[in-house]
Amino acid sequence: MVPSDGCLVSLGIFPTASHGGAAAMRPAPAANWWLPAEKASTKSSTSTMAAWTSCVRCSSNGSSVPRRTCKTSFPPIQQAADERTCMQFSIRRPKLPSSETHPEESSYRRLDVSTWLSHLNELGQVEEEYKLRKAIFFGGIDVSIRGEVWPFLLRYYSPKSTSEEREALRVQKRKEYEEIQQKRLAMSPEEHRAFWRNVQFTVDKDVVRTDRSNQFFRGEDNPNVESMRRILLNYAVYNPTIGYSQGMSDLVAPILAEVLDESDTFWCFVGLMQNTIFISSPRDEDMEKQLLYLRELLRLTHLRFYQHLVSLGEDGLQMLFCHRWLLLCFKREFPEAEALRIWEACWAHYQTDYFHLFICVAIVTIYGDDVIEQQLATDQMLLHFGNLAMHMNGELVLRKARSLLYQFRLLPRIPCGLHDLCKLCGTGMWDSGYMPAVECTGLHPGSESCPYGGTVEVPSPKAPKDGKKGPKASREGFGFRR
């Protein structure tokens, strides 16, 4: 048995595609959202991208290989994917041209103690919740006050509450938490057996392998691991329908590490499970809904990628490569500091409850060109994005995602499949007063007309031909024709 040789070479910098330019950012009133982007007007020679390529032809000194060469050695019909052994992956930090960023991008700094206090009145109430959420969406929260601010974002504390009320709430909630725990400890032997099999068995295995590299959970018999364990077990008692799903430990651990108190963390986690959509849902239909929206969003924003998925059939449209992104809200895709910034941006529920889907699209837009260019198959895509984990630039992805949301909100019309992305989430959605038209793009079984009031008046979207435009068309993004 001969294991094949490992092969790692680093590639030189490719000349890269130019991006959808400034013109693509401005919607024209009569624009159709499905038209391909205008040719890029901004050349971005500094921008870089990640790339897989085959090293079949690489030279022994590992010098750079022109992309075209790589392509011939990696034909799209290639059956096997993988290849730790044979593909090379190089990552450079791409940059976003200013035309591709949200216009308010630079208006916010990180929320630090003094700005945080300025959001509170003398009773400790958040003056203007929307402003706070917006500030967090753009600037994030300074590590030193995360433990204080997260409970608001996770809706454990109401922004209207005074400091005094919050203290009273904490006392009351601590009591409730203890009651839940008592309920768990008072199970009959029979109940306990079932609980052990359905919940505890997996929780016990998972807590000892969650965030162990984090100082807070490091070492043998760490009491914080035991806290995490109790929170998860108690949660399964509190909400037996959801119980425990793998991934929950990954979500609760960072909260515990910031909020510190076990009962407070429990209630923050309860809020997280109720108010976020990327939750580790045990239900098929929740995941299906996310994937459905994501596919629609990709069709709208990155047609070539969407078409690639379609060409792969059912397995491609399942988008296996992004399931972990959704389940753990990108926790394993980025180093912790960046991942938590993404969490905060999602938790801010600024203008959408589905910001995590814009993050997905941003990743695909920034790091997915090779998938299309090399026509990667389902398994290859899984490997491509799997290997990007911890090598992507989280700040960049966030900025791109914010800009995608901005553009989404400027669309003259949105397909009815994405209607729910625009549902009001607190104050502020469509706050400019501008409302896009809803356009029916799908079949609604069991319903005569579009349940979202969408109208049909358009020819089917025209797909840009792959390969025809070369790398220039690789980031059509949102397209508007003037």
Partner 1 sequence: MAETYDFLFKFLVIGSAGTGKSCLLHQFIENKFKQDSNHTIGVEFGSRVVNVGGKTVKLQIWDTAGQERFRSVTRSYYRGAAGALLVYDITSRETYNSLAAWLTDARTLASPNIVVILCGNKKDLDPEREVTFLEASRFAQENELMFLETSALTGENVEEAFLKCARTILNKIDSGELDPERMGSGIQYGDASLRQLRQPRSAQAVTPQPCGC
Binding site for partner 1 (CB under 8 A): 1-9, 54-62, 72-73, 75, 77, 79-86, 197, 201-202, 205-206, 209-210, 212-213, 245-247, 249-250, 281-284, 287-288, 291, 314-315, 318, 320, 323-324, 327-328, 332, 378-379, 382-383, 386
- Dist. CA 50–CA 35, nearest whole Å: 27
Q: Nearest CA to 321 among 267, 258, 387, 266?
A: 387
We find the least distance from the C-beta atom of residue 41 to partner 1, in angstroms, to be 36
* Contact yes or no for 308/368 (Cβ under 8 A): no
- Rg over CA atoms, the chain: 24
We find the least distance from the C-beta atom of residue 478 to partner 1, in angstroms, to be 28
We find the least distance from the C-beta atom of residue 427 to partner 1, in angstroms, to be 34
Comparing CB distances to partner 1, the nearer of 282 and 464 is 282
Structure token digits, residue 396 = 């960049």
Comparing CB distances to partner 1, the nearer of 148 and 379 is 379
Comparing CB distances to partner 1, the nearer of 131 and 205 is 205
We find the least distance from the C-beta atom of residue 262 to partner 1, in angstroms, to be 22
Q: Which residue has the tokens 């103690």?
A: 113
Alpha-helical (H) ranges within 154-301 are 163-185, 189-195, 201-207, 223-238, 248-259, 262-275, 284-301
We find the least distance from the C-beta atom of residue 361 to partner 1, in angstroms, to be 18
Structure token digits, residue 182 = 């008592």
* Contact yes or no for 249/208 (Cβ under 8 A): no
We find the least distance from the C-beta atom of residue 245 to partner 1, in angstroms, to be 6
We find the least distance from the C-beta atom of residue 278 to partner 1, in angstroms, to be 12
We find the least distance from the C-beta atom of residue 180 to partner 1, in angstroms, to be 23
We find the least distance from the C-beta atom of residue 368 to partner 1, in angstroms, to be 17
Sign of CA dihedral 102, 104, 109, 115: negative
Inter-axis angle of helices 248-259 and 336-347, nearest 10:
90
Q: Beta partners for 88?
A: 53
∠ CA 434-296-94, rounded to 5°: 85
Q: What share of the chain is helix, strand, coil (3-state, %, to 5)?
A: 50, 5, 45
Inter-axis angle of helices 378-388 and 355-367, nearest 10:
100
Comparing CB distances to partner 1, the nearer of 55 and 348 is 55
Comparing CB distances to partner 1, the nearer of 231 and 473 is 231
Comparing CB distances to partner 1, the nearer of 7 and 22 is 7
Comparing CB distances to partner 1, the nearer of 145 and 208 is 208
Write the CB contacts of 231 (distance below 8 Å, at least 6 apart in sequence): 252, 256, 262, 265, 266, 269
We find the least distance from the C-beta atom of residue 458 to partner 1, in angstroms, to be 30
Comparing CB distances to partner 1, the nearer of 195 and 480 is 195
Comparing CB distances to partner 1, the nearer of 282 and 461 is 282
We find the least distance from the C-beta atom of residue 279 to partner 1, in angstroms, to be 12
- Dist. CA 92–CA 51, nearest whole Å: 9
Comparing CB distances to partner 1, the nearer of 99 and 378 is 378
Comparing CB distances to partner 1, the nearer of 136 and 298 is 298
Task: Say if strands 413-415 and 437-439 run parallel, antiparallel, or are unpaired.
Answer: parallel
- Dist. CA 466–CA 307, nearest whole Å: 9
> How far is residue 433 CA from its own chain's centroid?
27
